[in-house]
């Protein structure tokens, strides 16, 4: 899986909604590889799904939407007022700009201070670009019902699509097959149709093609035209195809790799003509992740305590690696380093395995002192944040800071509530873990410093909704539930915190000769 | 000793056909060395001074025509009289609106300002430097701009810019309330602010930058997206830590809402003062908000009597710590101690009274409140002269109490009625209690708590003590004003409090004292 923003809790907002910046959120900080999500359980701990009874790994889906950070700004959409607020994270100055009717889903564009927002009631998108002279806007028509963005790395293409998981009570007859490709260089928006219910849209490194992962396979989109040029099935029989999961496309956009739930099959598919190379790995594959370089994938087989490195190409040549440690079912990788973390959240295992991809690939176990829920490696691969399952009854939680590069023990940090969000800085020196117990109204953020592994706890005023890093302002942010909007900024070096509540109010202050 | 009765002489106004004094309601003020009586009919203020042997002296001071309002300064030395002037003005000598400032010690006018526009509400700066005038709820003018205010700087000479007429930036509201802050360390230097609350916004005026509009910040509280508006309902200011110019703030209560608006006073990108908003939910509509220094640092505290809790807010994160209280307290007052730079405890009252130790407020909140079981509700708390550890608690159950904070004793004193008024003279350990429109009163010695009842010939409107100089000694006199008819007074020695030794005066409003 690509590194993406992953949150635990569905938002319960009154009139502010927060948007995930698919993929581009990485610009503001690296988020969890593992997906965290779910519904509230009886104790009020939102977001952590109950342990499955069949022993399968928990896939924690991204169900959350976060404010978008660009440079030193945080962007927040207000669907009711039709305005988008942008907050200078350093000075906390708030400005607003008018978007369309019902601006809701925001995504960052490229490396500039620019975002694009879906206006859900007017079925269009507004591009907002902040320059030295002010802010400019442009509007593009969209197909109706769009609720998600995928943005090419060069910032030229923005594809709006509908994630069925965000549509409550969606009928089976709703295929959500329309997408809108917005070419920001030519200002042309084109509506296309892809397969049934896309779950992900990615781009090749050259931004020449986009790939929509759907129930019908992969819809290949030529962006220059734009047009859907072919559909690539992932399996020849429909029954196997229905089990397809963890689909990834390599960086070159030539091949895709997929596993099929409950089977030992991993298939590499050539996208040009659909040629399939199935690989039988012996025991069911429990996780499949594309490595950051984009040309290799790692498959994990929990039952056999082994994994396989597979080239996503015409010659997959899987390389098998046996693990000496306990059964690991999930994997997460570091962006810049040849390091992967293996763990399992399907059983009460207090261990992770640190895999150095080499070559040769070697693994060593690392002890942690509580059941693992998820793990997130820093960009440089030197450390990881390991989230733990909350203890049964008292609502508290814990996380560990684990050195990966050095063979040093993990440090466990007890928290006042279950961890919900993790955000990591691009320089790998800081991590933010946000916890919340909705029932007991306890919520806090923990700022961790690496390599010292020291932590600072910051109590929060209300239920956290999202967290991230505003790299340009050297601050972490935690967005919280409040009718008028609330975000806490935490300085990454000094630990100083400032909270802003009431974006509409803050943007309506008149000073001097201004109205 | 027979009672000496002095008949005051009628003011000679030979040939005058003017109707003499017929007051509707007596308005009086106890200044530091005199008592001021407002005579609206004659456009005058009558000042009464005490003299030896229970005598009174009076002086009449003419103020502007058509007195609309009078207020006493916080230190009780000065009386501010606002006059509407002549209307209509037919000749050059007809008066314009004016403000007259009378010194209650020298019994003389110290300042008089002619005002460019008529305003009938008056706000005095607690530090005595400024006066703000603004429009009342109705106007007699054909057209009036209620956002035009008048600001006087009493420290500056009258000029074209003093008084200053300023029009508040408005988004549909009109000013309801004004607050002068203490000096605040702000970006650009230490200075004071005047804060105006309208029905839907808060305007912050930099008193040193009133020229033009540069010094005005308007925080709009209307929310178009919610088709609603937040109405400010009183505010306090806090300077934050000494030496920092980025942590001064205002806290504004919102009418009918559990949110408190906190305005951080910071510099914008251009270095000018601006406000950064934060809404803090304190769990219920607060009856009072304040800033306190606790064991956990500086906090904003909000008393929420409906929830029987106090909300302690960490200002940087707006995290709220709720502290349950044993009763529904709706007021708070700090207990000042000379040896402490900041108060270490506070008195809470409402349904009962409690002492709150601020040193335990965040670390051990459950142990920080010591309640005192008293019957009924405490309506008011006052300081007692000469004893910073004592407080007067006025209850609603025919009683009041003297609370000693050091001993934690509460001495009840029973009263005839719940409608008593209390007068505490400065610098003397006495209390006077009386019921308006009745002829009975009482004196309480605050050292011994002995009470002595008094009966006058006429109903008591107000009671005051005045000092006088008698040779090389200073004496004191109690003056009980009788507000009926032409206004009278009974003067006696407050230390002895013997009616038989009193002098009675009549007709104070129609001739003064001869």
d(CA A31, CA A7) in angstroms, rounded, equals 9
d(CA B3, CA B380) in angstroms, rounded, equals 37
pLDDT at B51: 93
d(CA A510, CA A436) in angstroms, rounded, equals 36
Q: Look at residue A114 and tell me whether its pLDDT is greater than 80.
A: yes
pLDDT at B12: 27
Q: Which residues contact B257 (CB under 8 A, 6 or more apart)?
A: B230, B285
Please give the residue that has the higher pLDDT: either A26 or A360: A360
In a domain, B332, yes or no: yes
Q: Look at residue B2 and tell me whether its pLDDT is greater than 50.
A: no
pLDDT one-digit tens code per residue, A55-74: 556 544 332 236 899 999 99
Confidence of residue B339 (pLDDT cuts 50, 70, 90): confident
pLDDT at A54: 56
The mean-pLDDT minimum among A219-223, B42-46, B103-107, B222-226 falls in B222-226
pLDDT one-digit tens code per residue, A412-442: 999 989 999 999 999 999 999 999 987 877 8
Token pair in block for residue B50: 């005490």
pLDDT at A325: 64
In a domain, B410, yes or no: yes
The answer to whether the Cβ–Cβ distance between B218 and A78 falls below 8 Å is no
pLDDT one-digit tens code per residue, B277-326: 888 888 889 999 999 888 888 899 999 999 999 999 998 877 888 899 99
B169 touches chain A (CB under 8 A): yes
Chain A residues in contact with B224 by the CB 8 A cut-off are 81
List, as one string, the DSSP characters of A443-496.
Answer: EEEEEEETTTTEEEEEE-SS-EEEEEEEGGGTEEEEEE--TT-EEEEEETTT--
pLDDT at B1: 35
In a domain, B329, yes or no: yes
State how far residue B146 is from chain A, nearest Cα, in angstroms: 19
What CATH number has the domain bearing residue B355?
2.130.10.10
Percent of chain B at pLDDT above 90?
58
Average pLDDT across chain A, whole number: 84
Q: Report strand pairing: B78-83 vs B98-103.
A: antiparallel
d(CA B113, CA B102) in angstroms, rounded, equals 12
In a domain, B26, yes or no: no
3-state secondary structure A43-90: CCCCCCCCCCCCCCCCCCCCCCCCCEEECCEEEEEECCCCEEEEEECC
Strands lying side by side in the sheet with B399-404: B378-384, B387-395, B399-404, B409-414
Interface test with B, best of A494, A499, A503 (most B CBs within 10 A): A499
pLDDT at A65: 37
In terms of average pLDDT, the best of B269-273, B424-428, B487-491 is B487-491
In a domain, B348, yes or no: yes
Interface test with A, best of B200, B230, B278 (most A CBs within 10 A): B278
Confidence of residue B212 (pLDDT cuts 50, 70, 90): low
d(CA B113, CA B128) in angstroms, rounded, equals 16
The answer to whether residues A219 and A277 touch, using CB atoms and an 8 Å cutoff, is: no
Q: Look at residue A21 and tell me whether its pLDDT is greater than 60.
A: no
Confidence of residue B224 (pLDDT cuts 50, 70, 90): low
In a domain, B149, yes or no: no
* Cα–Cα nearest to A330, from A362, A377, A265: A377
Compute the count of residue pairs across chains A and B with CB atoms less than 8 Å apart. 96
d(CA A452, CA B462) in angstroms, rounded, equals 72
Confidence of residue A18 (pLDDT cuts 50, 70, 90): very low
Q: Is B333 exposed, middle or buried (0-12, 13-18, 19+ CB in 10 A)?
A: middle
Token pair in block for residue A315: 């010659």
In a domain, B330, yes or no: yes
pLDDT at B35: 96
Q: Look at residue B409 and tell me whether its pLDDT is greater than 70.
A: yes
Average pLDDT across chain B, whole number: 87
pLDDT one-digit tens code per residue, A268-317: 999 999 999 999 999 999 999 999 888 999 999 988 888 899 999 998 88
If interface means Cβ-Cβ distance under 8 Å, which residues of chain A face chain B?
15, 78, 80-82, 91-93, 458-462, 482, 484, 486, 488, 496-502, 504-506, 508-513, 515
Confidence of residue A16 (pLDDT cuts 50, 70, 90): very low
pLDDT one-digit tens code per residue, B31-69: 999 999 999 999 999 999 999 999 999 999 999 999 999
Confidence of residue B217 (pLDDT cuts 50, 70, 90): very high
Q: Is the ipTM of this complex over 0.85?
A: no
In a domain, B404, yes or no: yes
The answer to whether the Cβ–Cβ distance between B218 and A500 falls below 8 Å is no
Q: Which residue segment(s) compose the domain that B374 sits in?
A: 288-420
pLDDT at A79: 81
pLDDT one-digit tens code per residue, A175-195: 999 999 999 999 999 999 999
Q: Report strand pairing: B228-229 vs B232-238.
A: unpaired
pLDDT at A252: 94
Nearest CA in chain B to A88: B269
Chain B residues in contact with A462 by the CB 8 A cut-off are 281
Nearest CA in chain A to B222: A505
Q: Is B86 exposed, middle or buried (0-12, 13-18, 19+ CB in 10 A)?
A: middle
The mean-pLDDT minimum among A23-37, A125-139, A155-169 falls in A23-37
Q: Look at residue A323 and tell me whether its pLDDT is greater than 80.
A: no
Percent of chain A at pLDDT above 70?
85
Of A93, A458, A511, the CB nearest to B317: A458
pLDDT one-digit tens code per residue, A34-56: 222 222 222 222 234 444 455 55
Give how many domains chain B has, as a whole number.
1
The answer to whether the Cβ–Cβ distance between A499 and B220 falls below 8 Å is no
Nearest CA in chain A to B278: A501
State how far residue B307 is from chain A, nearest Cα, in angstroms: 17
């Amino acid at each position: 899986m690509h590194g993406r923003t992953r949150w635990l809790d569905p938002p319960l907002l009154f009139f502010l909604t927060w948007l995930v910046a698919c993929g581009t959120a990485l610009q503001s900080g690296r988020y969890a590889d593992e997906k965290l999500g779910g519904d509230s359980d009886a104790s009020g701990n939102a977001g952590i799904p109950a342990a499955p009874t069949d022993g399968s790994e928990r896939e924690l889906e991204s169900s959350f939407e976060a404010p978008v950070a660009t440079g030193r700004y945080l962007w927040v959409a207000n669907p009711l007022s039709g305005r988008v607020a942008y907050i200078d994270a350093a000075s906390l100055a708030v400005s607003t700009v008018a978007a369309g009717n019902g601006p809701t889903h925001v995504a960052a564009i490229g490396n500039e201070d620019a975002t694009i927002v879906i206006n859900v009631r007017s079925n269009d998108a507004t591009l907002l670009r902040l320059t030295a002279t002010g802010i400019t806007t442009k509007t593009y028509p969209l197909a109706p019902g769009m609720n998600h963005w995928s943005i090419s790395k060069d910032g030229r293409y923005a594809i709006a699509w509908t994630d069925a998981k965000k549509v409550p009570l969606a009928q089976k007859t709703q295929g959500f097959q329309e997408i809108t490709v917005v070419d920001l260089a030519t200002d042309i928006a084109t509506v296309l149709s892809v397969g049934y219910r896309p779950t992900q849209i990615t781009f090749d490194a050259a931004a020449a093609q986009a790939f929509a992962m759907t129930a019908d396979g992969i819809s290949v989109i030529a962006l220059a035209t734009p047009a859907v040029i072919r559909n690539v099935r992932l399996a020849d029989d429909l029954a196997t195809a229905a089990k397809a999961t963890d689909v990834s496309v390599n960086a070159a956009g030539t091949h895709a790799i997929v596993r099929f739930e409950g089977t030992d099959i991993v298939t590499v598919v050539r996208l040009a003509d659909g040629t399939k190379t199935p690989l039988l790995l012996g025991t069911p594959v429990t996780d499949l992740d594309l490595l950051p370089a984009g040309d290799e994938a790692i498959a994990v087989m929990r039952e056999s305590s082994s994994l396989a490195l597979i080239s996503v190409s015409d010659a997959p040549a899987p390389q098998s690696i046996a693990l000496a440690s306990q059964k690991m079912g999930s994997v997460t990788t570091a962006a810049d380093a040849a390091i992967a973390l293996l763990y399992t959240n399907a059983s009460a295992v207090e261990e992770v395995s640190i895999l150095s991809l080499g070559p040769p690939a070697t693994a060593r176990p690392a002890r942690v002192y509580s059941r693992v829920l998820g793990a997130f490696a820093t960009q440089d691969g030197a450390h990881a944040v390991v989230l733990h399952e909350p203890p049964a009854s008292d609502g508290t939680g814990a996380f560990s800071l684990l050195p990966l590069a050095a063979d040093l023990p993990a440090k466990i940090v007890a928290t006042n509530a279950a961890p919900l969000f993790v955000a990591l800085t691009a320089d790998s020196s800081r991590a933010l873990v946000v916890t919340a117990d909705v029932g007991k109204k306890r919520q806090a953020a923990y700022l961790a410093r690496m390599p010292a592994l020291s932590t600072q706890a910051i109590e929060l005023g209300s239920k956290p909704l999202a967290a991230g890093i505003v790299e340009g302002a050297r601050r972490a942010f935690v967005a919280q539930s409040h009718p008028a909007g609330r975000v806490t900024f935490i300085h990454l070096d000094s630990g100083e915190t400032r909270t802003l509540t009431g974006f509409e109010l803050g943007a309506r202050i008149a000073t001097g000769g201004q109205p | 000793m027979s009672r000496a009765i002095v008949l005051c002489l009628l003011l000679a106004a030979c040939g005058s056909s003017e109707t003499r004094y017929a007051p509707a309601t007596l308005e009086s003020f106890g200044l530091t060395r005199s008592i001021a009586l407002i005579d609206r009919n004659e456009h005058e203020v009558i000042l009464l001074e005490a003299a030896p042997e229970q005598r009174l002296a009076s002086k009449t001071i003419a103020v502007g025509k058509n007195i609309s309002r009078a207020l006493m300064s916080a230190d009780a030395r000065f009386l501010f009289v606002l006059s509407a002037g002549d209307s209509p003005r037919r000749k050059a000598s007809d008066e314009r609106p004016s403000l007259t400032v009378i010194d209650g010690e020298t019994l003389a006018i110290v300042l008089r300002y002619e005002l460019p526009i008529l305003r009938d509400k008056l706000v005095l700066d607690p530090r005595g430097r400024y006066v703000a005038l603004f429009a009342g709820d109705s106007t007699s003018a054909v057209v009036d701009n209620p956002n035009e205010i008048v600001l006087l700087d009493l420290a500056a000479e009258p000029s074209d810019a003093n008084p200053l007429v300023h029009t508040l930036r408005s988004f549909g509201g009109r000013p309801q309330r004004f607050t002068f802050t203490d000096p605040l360390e702000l970006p650009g230097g230490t200075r004071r602010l005047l804060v105006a609350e309208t029905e839907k916004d808060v305007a912050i005026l930099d008193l040193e930058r009133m020229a033009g509009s540069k010094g005005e910040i308007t925080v709009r509280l209307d929310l178009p997206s919610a088709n609603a508006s937040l109405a400010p309902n009183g505010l306090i200011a806090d300077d934050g830590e000494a030496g920092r110019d980025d942590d001064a703030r205002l806290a504004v209560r919102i009418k009918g809402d559990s949110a408190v608006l906190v305005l951080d006073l910071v510099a914008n990108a251009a270095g000018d003062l601006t406000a950064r908003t934060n809404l803090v939910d304190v769990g219920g509509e607060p009856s009072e908000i304040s800033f306190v220094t606790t064991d956990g640092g500086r906090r904003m505290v909000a008393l929420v009597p409906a929830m029987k809790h106090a909300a302690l807010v960490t200002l940087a994160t707006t995290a709220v710590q709720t502290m349950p209280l044993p009763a529904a307290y709706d007021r708070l007052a700090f207990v000042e101690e000379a040896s402490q730079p900041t108060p270490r405890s506070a008195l809470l009252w409402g349904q009962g009274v409690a002492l709150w130790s601020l040193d335990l407020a965040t670390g051990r909140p459950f142990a920080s409140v010591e309640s005192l079981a008293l019957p009924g509700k405490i309506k008011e708390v006052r300081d007692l002269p000469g004893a910073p550890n004592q407080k007067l608690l006025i209850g609603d159950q025919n009683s009041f109490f003297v609370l000693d904070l050091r001993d934690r004793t509460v001495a009840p004193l029973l009263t005839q009625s719940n409608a008593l008024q209390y007068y505490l003279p400065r610098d003397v350990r006495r209390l006077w209690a009386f019921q308006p429109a009745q002829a009975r009163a009482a004196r309480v010695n605050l050292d011994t708590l002995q009470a002595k009842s008094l009966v006058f010939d006429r109903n008591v409107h107000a009671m005051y003590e005045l000092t006088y100089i008698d040779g090389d000694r200073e004496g004191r006199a109690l003056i009980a004003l009788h507000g009926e008819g032409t206004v009278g007074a009974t003067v006696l020695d407050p230390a002895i409090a013997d009616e038989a030794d009193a002098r009675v005066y009549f007709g104070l409003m129609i001739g003064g004292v001869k």
